[in-house]
Structure 1
Amino acid sequence: MEYDFVPLPDRKPLKWPNDNRLAVILTINLEYWDPVQDSDKPYYPGGPGIVGGNLPGNVYDNPNFTWREYGHRVGVWRMFDLFDAEGVPASCTMNAKMALKRRPVIDAALERGWEIVPHNFVQDELLTDYMFDEKAERDVIKRTLDVYEDTIGKKPKGWLSSSLRSTLNTIDILAEEGLIFVTDLLNDDQPYLVKTRSGAPMVSISYTSEVNDFSFLRQGLTVDTGFSMFKEQFDWLYQESATSGRVMNIGLHPHVIGQPFRIRALRDFIRYAKAHDGVWFPKREEIAEWYLDNHALHIEPSGDPPIP
């Protein structure tokens, strides 16, 4: 995996299709956590907990498991109702265990025609566990893609790693499996091409750990300060997008933003964004497919082969 370092001022203006200015991606992360693991090592939850303290993997953590399950049982349905009422789509990510254990949630997203992106096998397993074992990492990815195809009925186009913890081999493996975009890289407000050892290009469409509902927990935001965070990000990117297109992503988790005392922040932001001209709510695969055809109009390829 390698990409050219092209600073923003050195790029040509990015012109989205249909005169759009700002692509807004509202990412609902559909994630399952195992109640227990076959390990006495500290359990890695893949996100902040509602009750602190690390328990061993083989010890059931009731408050944190059931708090997260609130998202499956209640929070996500509140979010579905909101998105339906406002008439905008979400881009969902899904770990394989979510498809196997919580299929009604996945079916509801599919019924709405929403994009679903594979998101590792289970939330508490990281690809970085296999940094020095590419065969094992490939096995996790292939098992995830197999469940995805069985559930969704088609091959996936992209990928998001649990906790964005990918390795230096991940994007190469994904390209070899036929995927065309990755969401793990946090380093841009525009798409760009990533080189791979197979020669197949990958499009980076950045996720964000900043504009994320976890900020409500980590930074103690209220519904109003949470909306303010979303709005500030939008306003600045919208201003910049007058001359060159931008992408804005918000990371959402049903057990967090799906709580009754937080969800108004999301509703108010959606209404605010919709009131602006040139705002686009695309699927990531739409961006990736378009960018593969048009990237040279934005960033001229260097012609340098990837480092093996």
Structure 2
Amino acid sequence: MHYDFVPIAHRQPLKWPNGKRLAVILTTNFEYWDPAREDPKPFYPGGPGIVGGELAGDVYDNPNWTWREYGQRVGVWRMFDVFDAEGVPSSCTMNAKMGIERKAVVDAAVERGWEIVAHNYVQTDLLTDFHKDPEKEREVIRETLRICEETTGKRPKGWLSSSLRSTPNTADLLAEEGMLYFTDLLNDDQPYLIHTKSGKPLVSVSYTSEVNDFTVFMRQGQTCDGGFAVFKEAFDWLYAESEHSGRFLNIGLHPHVIGQPFRIRALRDFIRYAKQFDDVWFATREEIATWYLETHQSHIPTA
């Protein structure tokens, strides 16, 4: 994987289609965790737990597992209600085990015509486990894509690694599998091209660990009003910057966090706020990546 270092001040203005100036990506993460595994090393939980302390990985951790399952049983359906009521789509990441163990959640997104982004095989395993074994990493990627396609009827066009723990080989392997975009690189507010060993281009459409319900609510301890304020602050600043060159705002959402009844209003109120702006584009990553592949030379010319 290689990408050029081109500071934002050195790029040409980015002009989104149809006169839009700020793209908003509302990312809902469909994530399944196994209750336990054979390895006694502590589970990598994919974010802070609701109950502190670590158990061995081969011991069932009831409060932390069932807290996450709340998102699948209740929280995500509350989110669907908000998205439906406000008439906006979500870009949904899905690990393969969600398609096996919690297919009803995935089916609900597919029925709505929403984007599905491949999100590893299971949340508790990381691609960095295979950082010295690219063939094993390729195997995990292929199996994930196979199950995603089998579950949804469509092969995903993009990838988000569990906990964003990818390897230097990941982008090259994704390009070889015909992927269109990669979301692990947290380094931009605009899309850009990733150069891969196969010569097949891959578009970076960054995820975020900052404008993210885990960070805002679980790590910072924000209230519902405080969470909305963070989302709005990011939107307002990027919207002002986008007067001259387009930006995107991604908000990372987890059903067991934002889907709680005392937090969901932050999402609803933000959507209602953003919808007031006619030149805001509620976009999918596939739409952004497809458009960018056709237009990138006018933004960041390549040799």
Report the TM-score, using the length of structure 1 for normalisation.
Answer: 0.97
Count of residues in correspondence between the two structures: 302
Aligned equivalent of 1:98: 98
Structure 1 gaps of 5+ residues are: 304-308
Q: How far, CA to CA, are the matches of 1:11 and 1:211 in structure 2?
A: 24
Q: How far, CA to CA, are the matches of 1:275 and 1:243 in structure 2?
A: 20
Per-residue deviation, residues 225-282 of structure 1 (Å, max 9, x unmatched): 1000000000000000111000000000000000000000000000000001210011
Q: How far, CA to CA, are the matches of 1:63 and 1:154 in structure 2?
A: 35
Structure 2 gaps of 5+ residues are: none
Q: Write out aligned runs for 1:110-259 (5 A).
A: 110-214=110-214, 215-259=216-260
Give the deviation of 1:192 after TM superposition. Answer: 0.1
Which sits farther off after the overlay, 71-80 or 38-47?
38-47
Q: How far, CA to CA, are the matches of 1:225 and 1:44 in structure 2?
A: 28
Amino acid aligned to 2:248: V
Aligned equivalent of 1:297: 298
- The answer to whether structure 1 residue 261 and structure 2 residue 262 are counterparts is yes
Task: Provide the alpha-carbon RMSD of the alignment.
Answer: 0.6
Per-residue deviation, residues 152-177 of structure 1 (Å, max 9, x unmatched): 11221100000000000000000000
Amino acid aligned to 2:100: L
State the 4+ residue runs in structure 1 displaced beyond 6 angstroms.
none
Identity of aligned residues (%): 71
Q: How far, CA to CA, are the matches of 1:177 and 1:67 in structure 2?
A: 35
Q: How far, CA to CA, are the matches of 1:156 and 1:271 in structure 2?
A: 29
Q: How far, CA to CA, are the matches of 2:167 and 2:141 in structure 1?
A: 12
- The answer to whether structure 1 residue 31 and structure 2 residue 31 are counterparts is yes
Amino acid aligned to 2:204: S
Per-residue deviation, residues 26-70 of structure 1 (Å, max 9, x unmatched): 000000000001111111111111011111110000000000000
Amino acid aligned to 1:268: D
Q: How far, CA to CA, are the matches of 2:48 and 2:175 in structure 1?
A: 31
Amino acid aligned to 1:73: R
Q: How far, CA to CA, are the matches of 1:251 and 1:266 in structure 2?
A: 11
Q: How far, CA to CA, are the matches of 1:263 and 1:157 in structure 2?
A: 29
Q: How far, CA to CA, are the matches of 2:223 and 2:148 in structure 1?
A: 36
Q: How far, CA to CA, are the matches of 1:183 and 1:282 in structure 2?
A: 14
Q: How far, CA to CA, are the matches of 1:114 and 1:44 in structure 2?
A: 29
Give the deviation of 1:188 after TM superposition. Answer: 0.1
Per-residue deviation, residues 85-129 of structure 1 (Å, max 9, x unmatched): 001000000000001000000010011110010000000100000
Amino acid aligned to 2:99: A
Q: How far, CA to CA, are the matches of 1:117 and 1:180 in structure 2?
A: 11
